[in-house]
Structure 1
Amino acid sequence: MPPGFNIAIDGPAGSGKSTVARKLAQKLGLLYVDTGAMYRAVTYLVLKSGIDPADESAVTAFTQGLRFSLVRFLPKGVVDLWCNGEEVTPYLREPEVSRRVAEIAALRGVREHLVRCQRLFARKGGVVMEGRDIGTVVLPDSEYKFFLTAAPDVRLARREKELLADGRHFTKEELRREMNYRDEMDLKREIAPLKPASDAVVIDCTSLTVEEVVAKMLRICRGV
């Protein structure tokens, strides 16, 4: 592996990219960066401030003043997200945040500012960054790029498990509607739509465990 390398991991909700990216970063001793959490942080802070999420100019102006930092706890590699001196990690999965994040993430001004912040995290190399446009937009020069996919029912089950772990309960139909809405927003948005980079390794995780996916990535990164 080259020194100071970066790894980009993209994929839709429920594909397992967050869990895989976190474990891969831990094994390689790299910094894990969850860009989806940054969009959730903007959404949480916009709602907290009382700004109408539909007011694009107000949301964009507010976002320009946000500065992000990451705090990593070893040895497990847990990373907490802070914004303007406030730890925001505990609030990122609130129901209203989940309902509005796709809407805010589609705004050009929001994406442009967050892309700049994400590139700052990776400027010296040594990050595993995951999201929906990392290999195509944020870090197109990453040494390693992966795009994770999985069958819809598998993605749904994984998402349900994540929410239950957070103490949140949805019916399967509610969860399916939320996931379908997010998929449509991600795939069809004008700015940085969800798609694999032309040189990304696409991995179908439908029948693979997290450990198997991580092992496959490690083999690719190590050239074995």
Structure 2
Amino acid sequence: MTPPITIAIDGPSGSGKSSVSKEVARRLGVAYLDTGAMYRAATWWCLREGVDLTDTQAVTAVVDTMPLTMSVNPNDPTVRVDDINISEAIRDTGISTKVSAVATNIEVREILRTLQRNRITAERTGGFSQGKGIVAEGRDITTVVAPDADVRILLTASEEARLRRRAQDVHGTADAQAVEATKDEVLRRDADDSTVTQFQIAADGVITLDSSDLDFEQTITAVLNIIEHTTTPAQ
């Protein structure tokens, strides 16, 4: 029987880590955990509950009791809070511009990290993947949440490439106007989050993959090659 595998992928905004991680999980037949969606869900829930995001204690209290349900099926990574499907709502620009206020809350990070570790453990013993494992992606998976993961990758890209990709995702085009409209969201989010976790430079043992000059399929292939090389015993 093949042992379970935990693959941790971190990276800055627009690096492609979500779409790449999801496809890698699909091809490997394992679970997929989008930890960024957890912070977005927490932001959505706090706003719905009327919590001032600058009130760190109130935010922590609300997030601690958040009725969050996340699918780890890479074909249907649904996010629900209080049984409301918010998978689309959390991608709204209104959430994107506010999520850092929640994501930089240290106590909130500890709450969500615990949930993330529990899910990773569950997928190594059963769960959706039936014990095959999981691909978990975010900002601090390789360093804090799962530093003992079987494979740890920092997926990065040039600022130009990241802005272009995010503009395409959000606006459906990567022309100059769309890129400019996306710049604040991407760069400010990275700057804010870098105050609480390091995801710009690979930690010891973490493999850096620069996808600036790679298309989607080439990036998938590169990640799969890293996984194969890392998990294959030396002859």
What TM-score, normalized by structure 2, do the two folds share?
0.86
2:197 is aligned, of 192, 199, 206, to: 192
Q: Which amino acid aligns with 1:120?
A: N
Shift of 1:174: 2.8
Stretches of structure 2 lacking an aligned partner (at least 5 in a row): 125-132
Q: Deviations over 1:20-49 (max 9, x none)?
A: 101100000011111111100000111111
Report the 3-state secondary structure (helix = DSSP H, G, I; strand = E; otherwise coil) of the residue aligned with 1:78. coil
Going from structure 1 to structure 2, the CA distance change for 1:216 and 1:2 (only over 3 Å counts) comes to farther
Check conservation: 1:14, 1:159, Cα contact below 8 A. Answer: yes
Check conservation: 1:105, 1:111, Cα contact below 8 A. Answer: yes
Report the 3-state secondary structure (helix = DSSP H, G, I; strand = E; otherwise coil) of the residue aligned with 1:199. coil
Matched residues in 2 for 1:42 and 1:72: separation? 17
1:34 matched residue in structure 2: 34
Report the 3-state secondary structure (helix = DSSP H, G, I; strand = E; otherwise coil) of the residue aligned with 1:220. helix
Matched residues in 1 for 2:140 and 2:2: separation? 23
Q: Deviations over 1:102-147 (max 9, x none)?
A: 1110001110000001111100321101101000011111000110
2:162 matched residue in structure 1: 155
Q: Which amino acid aligns with 1:152?
A: E
1:138 is aligned, of 132, 145, 152, to: 145
Stretches of structure 1 lacking an aligned partner (at least 5 in a row): none
1:221 is aligned, of 216, 224, 227, to: 227
Check conservation: 2:45, 2:81, Cα contact below 8 A. Answer: no
Going from structure 1 to structure 2, the CA distance change for 1:106 and 1:2 (only over 3 Å counts) comes to farther
Matched residues in 1 for 2:178 and 2:75: separation? 32
Matched residues in 1 for 2:159 and 2:186: separation? 9
Matched residues in 2 for 1:157 and 1:61: separation? 37
Alignment of structure 1 residues 73-92 onto 2, 5 Å: 77-92=75-90
1:180 is aligned, of 187, 207, 218, to: 187
Check conservation: 2:171, 2:178, Cα contact below 8 A. Answer: no
Worse-superposed segment, 37-46 or 210-219: 210-219
Shift of 1:210: 1.5
2:99 matched residue in structure 1: 101
Worse-superposed segment, 79-88 or 203-212: 79-88
Worse-superposed segment, 192-201 or 208-217: 192-201
Q: Which amino acid aligns with 1:159?
A: R
Matched residues in 2 for 1:219 and 1:86: separation? 38
Matched residues in 1 for 2:79 and 2:93: separation? 19
Matched residues in 2 for 1:33 and 1:67: separation? 17
Number of aligned positions between the proteins = 217
Report the 3-state secondary structure (helix = DSSP H, G, I; strand = E; otherwise coil) of the residue aligned with 2:204. coil
Matched residues in 2 for 1:4 and 1:143: separation? 9
Check conservation: 1:68, 1:117, Cα contact below 8 A. Answer: no
Matched residues in 1 for 2:185 and 2:65: separation? 30
Report the 3-state secondary structure (helix = DSSP H, G, I; strand = E; otherwise coil) of the residue aligned with 2:32. strand
Shift of 1:222: 2.1
Identity over aligned pairs, percent: 35
